[in-house]
Structure 1
């Protein structure tokens, strides 16, 4: 990981919050953008050509007004020693050709340059913006592809809201930078041309105005240095506001159920207050800065009139040249002010580049063997744990010296207190994490020698926390797998007894699900999760609290269906409700990551051990709840 790590306002680790005071790093990161902009370099080159043509047209407009119209036509004081870039000859030729007055010809030529300036300017901006859009779209695509393949361990430590901010907001900051820098290039080209014209017309007047330009540049630099730290706080707080919104709105039901609204509001208000303070400082700074810049521009006009008027009276220059200087003053100030305004975009882009490439350079991944051993076509489903030890990144050991073998076609249940490592074992079988070599085997093959993608095609798992995607019911069963046909989906739904409720939907399998399947009940959503896995027809089936969200009647029907589904198929069931796993061939009892007991329900109850204690404690709890419920109904 290349980016530094700092804590956010609540002390939680944000691995993408970085300092932007790294000019060399920023330059190198911006240079890296060429990889995504290279396919569209011809558009960029074309945009620069349009910018030059637009700048040339912009400069020729005041030349026509000042040198031709004012000096030549109105004042009859045309001086051949001052350049007019061929405009006098062009207007005289057009007047002769059209047999009209020179003032009319001058108006037509001026209109021509205005149209060309506008047209080339539009072409420049559109080509540049389109190139930036295409390049950053490719970057966003590559970034999404990268985060899709990051392992579960990454998302154990990093909030999803942080990743969303990188892909959405930070890339948008780069878009502002690229289009802003391009627009600045469009301003700088006429500046260069204007300065060269001013020096050729009246070098002394141009030199006298240069201190004023340096003063403007100094004011802008001082202001931006002061405001840069303010905008850093604004960007950081906005990012955290987005992250907080995503995390708490995604879990709004939990927030409301646990009565955390006040705490969530307090946390959001703290970030919002920090943002408001920074925004207020920025507004106050801008209210001082903008009038200063405006007044300096008026001072420049007054200076040109004062100094230029003296040169006219001394006959060292013409009135048209002074008019030209007045028109060019805007061309001089606008790029300098735009350069200062772009500083904010540069600061945002600096931080955005660090975070984007920090995420893109995050090298964490599952180990994939260079020459993976393929799983056999007819997978038996034997799972062996050989002295397995596993710990998460925080260093806490979750599984300790675990030894156990699941025979092919065996129905195993894993029970134990919360935090005993039950779900961790199933996630290791699915290869969401790396395990020590020679500690976990499928059909005698070390799981670390198998491609994780191949394992997940042969192992089906139904989580307690499941997810439904936008799309139809069939889309959520097939999940884009072309081998799962509608007939397969129908058979799976019929087997798991979900066909009746699916066909009762308005469009059956073609019914479009709302966000997170909100147009289905919790039980129906869980049933779809069952159907999804059964349609895959995996050789190994894992049920992780899979019936926790289903009513007892539906659960009984599913349990009956699971007898058929798990026949001749290795299955592992995790359940807190011990009544649901009494039919298991063997029950594995875990405590603090260690295997403490193994046997079927009768054997474990006769041993009077840890399992019996768990079972009787849960039975007692259920009796108390039922008694309390009856008393409440009587009242």
Structure 2
């Protein structure tokens, strides 16, 4: 026998408690994120083609107005040989083909480019969104599959709400990240195309106009610095508002019972006021930034008129070129404005990206055997605890040298004070944690040599804190197991006397149950949990205080069924009810993680030890309760 304990790696679980903060830009995270976009690269390439076509249409429409209409039709003598990118020839061809006046043909050409601009722009946004959403769907699926296989030791230390944030808020923020890149791409492509055309038309005027770009970039940088802290404050107060709201609404009965409505209202109002102040500050900052960027556009227009007018008088530029520059001015400043708007979104999303990959990289898992041993098909159900010592964290010990055998078909009750290790014993048997080698055996086979999933198929557990899923009654009994037919589900329900109340439901076994089965009574939900386990027909049955929350009348209903079901089946029962304990073949008494006594009810009473003390306390409680009734 080996006394080696499973190696426990020291882990920092606090990373799941970190609030979302603005992080530096990490190109490596973006590259890794692209792994989920790679299967949809064809759609991404189509989106790129669409944005290039949309940018071309966006700049060619103003060319038609400036170079074709102004320089080619209205003022044909002012043409200084500036390029028109084939639009004059195309307009002449269209006018000749349709026998139209050149102005009418130019209007049609302008309308075509405008429609193509809108159509390609729409196609770009649709294909970009489709690419991003498909990739994030796969990422969310992979993250869920990863988190679903983390062991109980992980969820013992990490709040479920924090884990859910990875799958909901953080994934949604990644959509903002990738969509933000799409917005920037959609603005910068027309920017570069427009600048290229402007350089071809008049390099001098282009350079003079671009002197204003550093001022716009400086304003954007200042806006980003100031707004970063404000937006962080908004997110923080919103998080506190949601947390406060969830806490109070989930406990509304306690709130009303103890008259805490006014106190909770004042606390919520205080946080709400902080959020209002942060939101107002953000509005004021944005109200300064918006007019500042508009002023930049007006300055650019003034510069175009001043310098461009001089170039027209000197014959260095055409009037149409100057008009085209004026139309392109918005395209020059729009990407900088977009950067200011998307900057905080991008950097906030970097934090979400990092948190998601932290969860995906969390490699904590149960140890699985390299060459697993299958449990025999005719499992007898003999369970052996062999010098089991266990602690959830290094340096702590919950169970100390626990040793006892459970014979095939034997009915064992485990009792002891709170914290004695009763439930821990069951969780280890079900292989929710790694245990020392050869410390727990089923039919002589070390459970560490068996796949955890196979053990859970052969060991059925009914917990006091059971879970009912949204779905039909039948779905909650079968739990998606195709081997459990409707007839088997009905038989299991009949054995635990759940069938009568199920038949009274509106659609019987097809009745939809709400979240956590709120449309059933507690006793009915417990009976459904019994039927769920019995439908599996496990060789080993575990009842972890499964009747603790059932009223006496309901317990009497299922006692007869349980006695029949446990007959010939190895049964381990953790219970406080006298009737359940007394009917057990043997009773194991735990205290402080150690086995103190083992024997039948009569034997342990005769010993006069810890069990007798616990039993007498229960008798007094029952007698007192009966007298009060």
Q: Same fold by TM (over 0.5)?
A: yes
Match of 2:229 in 1: 229
Match of 2:342 in 1: 342
Deviates more, 1:359-368 or 1:316-325: 316-325
Q: Output the CA distance in 2 between the equivalents of 1:412 and 1:567.
A: 12
Q: Output the CA distance in 2 between the equivalents of 1:259 and 1:372.
A: 58
State the SS of the aligned residue for 1:476.
helix
Contact 1:604/1:611 (<8 A) preserved: yes
Match of 2:115 in 1: 115
Q: Output the CA distance in 1 between the equivalents of 2:319 and 2:193.
A: 21
Q: Output the CA distance in 2 between the equivalents of 1:536 and 1:264.
A: 46
Q: Output the CA distance in 2 between the equivalents of 1:389 and 1:493.
A: 38
Deviates more, 1:275-284 or 1:373-382: 275-284
Aligned: 1:140 with 2:143? no
Q: Output the CA distance in 2 between the equivalents of 1:183 and 1:79.
A: 37
- Give 1:542 deviation, angstroms: 0.5
When residues 254 and 533 of structure 1 are mapped into structure 2, their CA distance, relative to the original with a 3 A threshold, is farther
Match of 2:56 in 1: 56
- Give 1:381 deviation, angstroms: 1.1
Aligned: 1:418 with 2:427? no
CA deviations on 1:605-635 (whole Å, 9 max, x unpaired) are 22221112222223323333444x44xxxxx
Contact 2:21/2:232 (<8 A) preserved: no
State the SS of the aligned residue for 2:465.
coil
Match of 1:559 in 2: 559
When residues 64 and 330 of structure 1 are mapped into structure 2, their CA distance, relative to the original with a 3 A threshold, is same
TM-score normalised to structure 2 length: 0.93
Alignment of 1:149-168 (within 5 A): 149-168=149-168
Aligned: 1:459 with 2:459? yes
1:14 to 13, 16, 19: 16
Match of 1:449 in 2: 449
Contact 2:430/2:455 (<8 A) preserved: yes
How many residues in Structure 1 have an aligned counterpart in Structure 2? 621
- Give 1:265 deviation, angstroms: 6.8
Deviates more, 1:491-500 or 1:475-484: 491-500
Q: Output the CA distance in 2 between the equivalents of 1:276 and 1:42.
A: 45
State the SS of the aligned residue for 2:598.
strand
Match of 2:5 in 1: none
Contact 1:411/1:571 (<8 A) preserved: yes
- Give 1:276 deviation, angstroms: 4.8
State the SS of the aligned residue for 1:377.
coil
Q: Output the CA distance in 2 between the equivalents of 1:233 and 1:149.
A: 35
Deviates more, 1:242-251 or 1:575-584: 242-251
- Give 1:222 deviation, angstroms: 2.1
- Give 1:409 deviation, angstroms: 1.0
CA deviations on 1:419-462 (whole Å, 9 max, x unpaired) are 11111111111011111112111111111111000000000000
State the SS of the aligned residue for 1:352.
helix
When residues 370 and 510 of structure 1 are mapped into structure 2, their CA distance, relative to the original with a 3 A threshold, is same
Deviates more, 1:401-410 or 1:386-395: 386-395
CA deviations on 1:81-126 (whole Å, 9 max, x unpaired) are 2111011111122222222211111101101101111111111111
Match of 1:28 in 2: 28
Match of 2:6 in 1: none
CA deviations on 1:392-433 (whole Å, 9 max, x unpaired) are 137432111211111111111111111111111111110111
TM-score normalised to structure 1 length: 0.92
- Give 1:251 deviation, angstroms: 6.5
- Give 1:266 deviation, angstroms: 7.8
Contact 2:414/2:575 (<8 A) preserved: yes
Q: Output the CA distance in 1 between the equivalents of 2:265 and 2:236.
A: 19
Contact 2:78/2:319 (<8 A) preserved: no
Contact 2:21/2:348 (<8 A) preserved: no
Deviates more, 1:122-131 or 1:574-583: 574-583
Contact 2:462/2:542 (<8 A) preserved: yes
Contact 2:180/2:346 (<8 A) preserved: no
State the SS of the aligned residue for 2:529.
helix
Structure 2: gaps (5+ residues): 1-8
Alignment of 1:312-391 (within 5 A): 312-391=312-391
Match of 2:496 in 1: 496
CA deviations on 1:450-494 (whole Å, 9 max, x unpaired) are 100000000000000111111111111000001111111111111
Alignment of 1:144-223 (within 5 A): 144-223=144-223
Match of 2:298 in 1: 298
Deviates more, 1:78-87 or 1:528-537: 78-87
State the SS of the aligned residue for 2:403.
strand
Q: Output the CA distance in 2 between the equivalents of 1:390 and 1:409.
A: 27
When residues 335 and 14 of structure 1 are mapped into structure 2, their CA distance, relative to the original with a 3 A threshold, is same
Match of 1:611 in 2: 611
CA deviations on 1:486-517 (whole Å, 9 max, x unpaired) are 11111111111111111121221111112221
Contact 1:384/1:441 (<8 A) preserved: yes
Deviates more, 1:28-37 or 1:454-463: 28-37
Match of 1:81 in 2: 81
Contact 2:80/2:315 (<8 A) preserved: no
Structure 1: gaps (5+ residues): 7-12, 631-635
When residues 115 and 100 of structure 1 are mapped into structure 2, their CA distance, relative to the original with a 3 A threshold, is same
State the SS of the aligned residue for 2:211.
helix
